[in-house]
Structure 1
Amino acid sequence: MKRTIALGTAALLASTSLASAEGVVNLYNWGNYTSPEMLEKFTAETGITVNVTDFDSNDTALARVRQGGHGFDIVVPTHSYLETWINEGLLMPLDKSIVVNHGNIAPEWTDVPFDPGREYSVPWQWGTTGITVDTAVYDGNINTADIVFNPPEELKGKINVVPEMSDVMAIAIYHAGGESCTEDMEVMRKVRDTLVAAKPHWKAMDYSTVENFASGDFSAGIGWNGATMRARFQRDTVAYGYPETGFPVWMDNAAVLADAQNPENAMKFINFILEPENAAMLSNFARYANGVAESDEFLSEDMQGAPELTIPEDLVSAGKFSEACPQAVNDLQSQIWTELLQ
């Protein structure tokens, strides 16, 4: 998804609260996830400068905005968190008089359960979480979570797991035979034991995967399909696997904050990214699919048929659109996650 290296062209303001100014919009987004070319085009067409501040997890973003005084105008949360943002009144409804490209949202991404009718959000990009492997180091089956949870000798000490709880827990739960948001304590004990036993064989829990896989510093791990593709372009032995036991499918969404200081500019930006050519710029940069109709014709050739974007036919059913879990389930998963991070 995603996400951690500060965007080189993003202008970060010095103060902790980003100043409101005419001709400015302040975007709070996953790192390494926003096309500089697209931002330049937006500024050239509108005169509005985009300041980008990075976050490294959904929990970080939510906590920062809940505190107030942040100065951000737009945020890009994952779908499984979006209902929380909406229910807590942290987002404002889209102004359809400005967001006139709302109809460009692909039909399958329009009336979604996490934002029915897309009243508050628009698609940013969507993808999967799976297994990244350097096939020069490991030449076995890459479509298995055992690479991370029960690694072969050649991968021990060379594994990275992105520290995004919902993604990692989902893969571990599916691997243990459970379903998303399960409250089955037998399954959750198995998940806990599997993760704790596996961690000593991991090298890191880091978001900075592209450069580390490209350099050979990491040889396997849990990661996102777009980041894996970017690493493969730099190191052609890097491959992306879809765990046979199940893997998450997710969508990140752009929305305007209820306390945005530049709401009109924010709505203009939201409208801009719904133009097919502009949505394709986001995809061509971060290497994830987007949810805008007719954007495919603008995608770069190396995106067409890329294995990271093409789930093998026999594994399509293993992809599971993640959901927001009840608080009791979140608390249980958080307990396991906290122990894992110690």
Structure 2
Amino acid sequence: MKTLKSILIAGVAAVAFAGPALAAGELHIYNWGDYTNPDLIAKFEKQYDVKVSLDTYDSNETMLAKVRAGASGYDIVVPSDYTVKVMVDEGMLEETKPNTMENFKYMIPKFVDVYWDSGRNYSVPWQFGLTVFAVNTDKYKGPIDSLGILFDPPAELKGRINMLDDMNSVIHAAERYLNLPRCGGEKENLKKVSELLLKAKENWRTFSYDTIPKMTSGDVDASQTWNGAAYRMRQANPAIKFAYTKEVMEGWMDNVVVLKGAANIENAKLFQNFIMAPENAGLISAFAGYDNGIMDSHKYMPNGMGDSPEMNMPAGFASEFTPPCPKEVVEMYNKIWTNLKK
């Protein structure tokens, strides 16, 4: 028979080891390259005694292909909004119920009922922002308030432009410049998009996701890019300016989700809750350069970052999230893109 003392000791130990601070084990993360603050990972590892491994990818499509192939070994991936929708619809994610987690109270309300995960049953924000372009204003001093900089550039920028190696961002930007609907699929409109892209390509230098080194090295003087990347460019070269355009701009949000059947589901849930704490969301932004969707996180960012021009869209401009296109439209986009990249 156990003594009362031994029962009490056992009970205290059980409560202690049930706590999240003693989670232990492993967590395998697959995230975009140059996007994860090492200090964030070190803090999580120390707080929960969890060993984290990190691999990186360069596009949603690369990540999806690896996950669809099966046995990826990852617990967490960080897809963009439209890709979360695809993964939810295909049953690729664990329903981890972030909306029941302790730190969910810090999520900015407008990011709760989102088209890709209404009510937040699967995902939590990582970073969000805009995809437009940046220009080295030492090289070009004219206005940069239109996507015409990319598609009908001034003489100073011809042959000096990088475009993202991203089918959706490039094609949707062309649709916005032409004032055409996104994902419309009308053959006449898609013909206009293709013609615009082929003509504009003559003035482009490269297709690359590596926008920061391309701009800061002077390899190009303008690049389609993201606002957070432009923030980091400006730290290296104050002449680099992020553009806000009269055309509606592409908004996006990358999100932390847990793969179906992940080996370390409980540690993955801990990580989802962990990054919704304002001080931890601030660590993500301090490294990556974007806003994060978590209240009170700006005070944990470097001085001036929360008030930076890249993180604060001026009044009078508009952005939009674009849901995934229908399969038949994606097939037509693929044809346009393949022809463009020849």
Shift of 1:97: 10
Shift of 1:160: 0.5
When structure 1 is superposed on structure 2, of 34-43 and 319-328 the one drifting more is 319-328
User: What is the aligned counterpart of 1:123 among 122, 125, 138?
Assistant: 125
When structure 1 is superposed on structure 2, of 298-307 and 235-244 the one drifting more is 298-307
Q: 2:301, 2:216 → 1: CA distance?
A: 23
Q: Kindly tell me: are residues 149 and 238 of structure 1, through their superposed partners in 2, closer, same or farther at Cα, counting changes over 3 Å?
A: same
Q: 1:125, 1:239 → 2: CA distance?
A: 20
Shift of 1:87: 1.4
Secondary structure of the 1:118 match is: coil
Shift of 1:245: 1.8
Shift of 1:224: 0.5
Q: 1:111, 1:313 → 2: CA distance?
A: 24
Residue type at the aligned position of 1:329? V
Q: Which residue of 2 aligns with 1:112?
A: 114
Q: Which residue of 1 aligns with 2:17?
A: none
Secondary structure of the 2:257 match is: strand
Shift of 1:98: 8.4
Secondary structure of the 2:159 match is: coil
Determine whether 1:154 maps to 2:148: no
Q: Which residue of 1 aligns with 2:4?
A: none
Q: Which residue of 2 aligns with 1:321?
A: 321
Q: Which residue of 2 aligns with 1:200?
A: 202
Contact 1:105 1:292 in 2 (8 A): yes
Secondary structure of the 2:84 match is: helix
Determine whether 1:246 maps to 2:248: yes
Contact 2:182 2:322 in 1 (8 A): yes
User: What is the aligned counterpart of 1:71 among 67, 70, 73?
Assistant: 73
Contact 2:134 2:224 in 1 (8 A): yes
Shift of 1:251: 0.6
Superposed, which structure 2 residues align to 1:75-86 within 5 Å?
Answer: 75-86=77-88
Q: Which residue of 1 aligns with 2:191?
A: 189
Determine whether 1:275 maps to 2:277: yes
Residue type at the aligned position of 2:89? N
Shift of 1:297: 2.1
Secondary structure of the 1:338 match is: helix
When structure 1 is superposed on structure 2, of 145-154 and 293-302 the one drifting more is 293-302
Residue type at the aligned position of 2:157? L
User: What is the aligned counterpart of 2:299 among 297, 300, 318?
Assistant: 297
Q: Kindly tell me: are residues 96 and 164 of structure 1, through their superposed partners in 2, closer, same or farther at Cα, counting changes over 3 Å?
A: closer
Secondary structure of the 2:114 match is: coil
Shift of 1:133: 0.5
Q: Which runs of 5+ in 1 are unaligned?
A: 1-21
Q: Which residue of 1 aligns with 2:141?
A: 139
Contact 2:99 2:121 in 1 (8 A): no
Residue-by-residue CA offset, 1:16-75 (whole Å, 9 max, x unaligned): xxxxxx622111111111111111111111111221111111111111100001100001
Shift of 1:95: 5.0
Shift of 1:200: 2.2
Contact 1:26 1:73 in 2 (8 A): yes
Residue type at the aligned position of 1:109? F
Shift of 1:119: 0.4
Contact 1:98 1:267 in 2 (8 A): no
Q: 1:336, 1:285 → 2: CA distance?
A: 35
Q: 1:97, 1:132 → 2: CA distance?
A: 36
Residue type at the aligned position of 2:150? V
Q: 1:105, 1:214 → 2: CA distance?
A: 34
Q: 2:41, 2:100 → 1: CA distance?
A: 19
Q: Kindly tell me: are residues 68 and 155 of structure 1, through their superposed partners in 2, closer, same or farther at Cα, counting changes over 3 Å?
A: same
Residue type at the aligned position of 1:337? W
Q: Which residue of 2 aligns with 1:90?
A: 92
Q: 1:63, 1:259 → 2: CA distance?
A: 17
Residue-by-residue CA offset, 1:156-184 (whole Å, 9 max, x unaligned): 22111111221111111010111221223
TM-score scaled by structure 1?
A: 0.90
Secondary structure of the 2:181 match is: coil
Superposed, which structure 2 residues align to 1:6-17 within 5 Å?
Answer: none
Number of matched pairs: 319
Q: Which residue of 1 aligns with 2:312?
A: 310
Residue type at the aligned position of 2:286? N
Q: 1:269, 1:118 → 2: CA distance?
A: 15
Aligned CA RMSD, in angstroms, stands at 1.5
Secondary structure of the 1:143 match is: coil
Q: 1:104, 1:120 → 2: CA distance?
A: 16
Q: Which runs of 4+ in 1 moved over 2 A?
A: 95-100, 183-187
Residue type at the aligned position of 1:122? V
Shift of 1:96: 5.5
Q: Which residue of 1 aligns with 2:8?
A: none
Q: Which residue of 2 aligns with 1:29?
A: 31
Q: 1:277, 1:323 → 2: CA distance?
A: 30
Shift of 1:243: 2.4
Q: Kindly tell me: are residues 192 and 100 of structure 1, through their superposed partners in 2, closer, same or farther at Cα, counting changes over 3 Å?
A: same
Q: Which residue of 2 aligns with 1:262?
A: 264
